[in-house]
Structure 1
Amino acid sequence: MFIYPHLTPSEQASLPRLLAQPRAIPNKFSDSTHQLFHCQTADGDMVLKVCNQATIQRSQFWSGANHLFAADFPNSLGEIHLTHDFLQKYGLFSVPECVSASAHRFVLTRFLTGKDVEAQHISEQWVIQLAGHIAQLHQCSYASWGNLHAPQFAADLWASRLHETLVLLASQHDTPIAQPLLAEVLAGARNSHETEFVPMMLDLRWDQFRSANANSNDLALIDLDAFVIAPRALDLVLLEYVLTPAQLALFKQYYVQTHPWPDHNENTPGYQLLLFLMNILGETDLAKWMQRL
């Protein structure tokens, strides 16, 4: 008899019947918050994601996401199907169908065939697709922010919560943040003012995508855990880190057809430090990170 790893008998009772023992999929990062398994079932191939509670408790990323945006992870896994439905309605990328999920515990999704995208081999067509996807999501504009499905915070609360989160993350960081820089950024964060909020994938990276096959330019977004409603400017600051200068120029060319590109302002250092402290792209040199924009 085959069993789903780490799940209780009651959790497994309603899941598709396994045809073989699930095979572990190696994690890409040491701080990954899930253990992944490829599952052959009577209803087709699937991927099981099981929460690693110990890793989540140590995660700077989820500490920031939960404190600032009330992301409520990993309890929010119980509503991952709502994120799937939202992205199917408003996004441009394929997303894996959610078969089953349990708050704090696991997600079972249908396996999407293809090859994981590598940041070193990004086609222009993928950059254009990403620009179209982000522009489409940014058509969904909100006056409040926070949780993707229930953005509960008023715009005038952004500054105080950003300031509190930066203080918290800086206190938890392995390396102390230089006081002059921290004081300057915190002062700017305290006075930040945002009025435009959009859906944002906080952990957007190319490795969160799959290409359908070697002969296709179509991408699928395979990780849906970290969507929130956030300032549009924060989403664009993240993209400036994710994309190379050439990719960013191409991205902007298509994005600005429907949205203006905001100039960097007094909010930018706070967003840079927030992304650094959340360990978004794994950079450890703060001076290098702050100088990139």
Structure 2
Amino acid sequence: MFIYPLLTTSEQASLPKLIAQPIAIPNKFADSTHQLFYCQTAKGEMVLKVCNQATIEKSHFWLGANHLFAADFPNSLGNIHLTHHFLEKNGVLAVPDFVSASARRFVIAQFLAGKDIETEHITDQWVIQLAEHIARLHQCTYSNWGKLHAPQFYAKQWASRLHETLVVLVKQHGSLATKPLVTEILAHAKNINETEFVPMMLDLRWDQFRCLRNNDLALIDLDAFVIAPRALDLVLLEYVLTPSQLAVFKKHYIQTHTWPDHTADTPCYQLLLFLMNVMGETNLAKWMQQI
């Protein structure tokens, strides 16, 4: 008899029957918040993601996401089927079919056959697909922000919550609190005025995608979607993409959207992404100079 790793007997009772013992998928990062398993079941190939509570509690990323956006992770896993449905309806990239989930515990989704994306081998075709996907999501605009499925905060609350979150995260990083640049950014954060909010993947990186057999991109990690300022999404993309990739991205994005001037607020969003350890950079000066 085969069993799902790390799950209780009651949790396994309603899951698809296994036809082989699941195989652990090595984590790409030391601070990964899930343990992954490849599962062969009577209903097809699947991926099981089991929460690592100890890692989540130490995660600067989830501290920031939960404090700023009230993301409520990992409780939010209980509603992740809504994210699957939202992206199937509003995005252009393939996402795994949802199978099952339990708040604070696990998610099971369809396994998408293909290959992992390597950042050194990104094609223009993938950049264009990403641009079309982001542009389509940005057609969904909101006057409120916060959780993807229930954005509960008003636009006027953005500056104060951003400032509070930055202060909390800076304290987690110790010596950063005394840096003049950080002090200057914190002061500016109080005065940001955002009015346009869109769906955003807070941890967007190329390793969150797979290349399918037809060479199309698929988005395989859906945990961290929120409703956020469009400018924050664009700042993150400027880190993810090389200058040449960004030029390709913009060319396609501006076919349906303007590219806003967010220069004044960029340092605040750079600091937020740095403190949340989105790209793994540990040198603040180097990070601030990248874009």
Query: TM-score normalised to the size of structure 1?
Result: 0.98
Q: Provide the residue aligned with 2:109 in structure 1.
A: 109
Once the two structures are superposed, the pairs formed by residues 1-293 of structure 1 within 5 Å of their partners are 1-173=1-173, 175-213=175-213, 216-293=214-291
CA separation of 1:174 and 1:12: change in aligned 2, threshold 3 A:
farther
SS in 2 for 1:45: strand
Distance 2:176 2:127 in 1: 36
Whether the 8 Å contact between 2:75 and 2:104 is mirrored in structure 1 is yes
Query: TM-score normalised to the size of structure 2?
Result: 0.98
Decide which moves more: 257-266 or 234-243.
257-266
What letter is aligned with 1:91?
G
SS in 2 for 1:176: helix
**Deviation for aligned residue 1:16:** 0.7
**Deviation for aligned residue 1:262:** 1.2
Whether the 8 Å contact between 2:176 and 2:182 is mirrored in structure 1 is no
Superposition RMSD on alpha carbons, in Å?
0.9
Aligned residues: 291
Identity of matched residues, %: 74
SS in 1 for 2:176: coil
**Deviation for aligned residue 1:176:** 2.8
Decide which moves more: 62-71 or 168-177.
168-177
SS in 2 for 1:120: helix
Runs of 4+ that moved beyond 6 A: none
Distance 1:93 1:178 in 2: 43
**Deviation for aligned residue 1:66:** 0.3
Unaligned runs of 5+ in 1: none
Distance 1:104 1:61 in 2: 16
Distance 2:237 2:177 in 1: 24
1:21-66 CA distance string (max 9 Å, x none): 1100000000000000001111111100000000000000000000
What letter is aligned with 2:18?
L
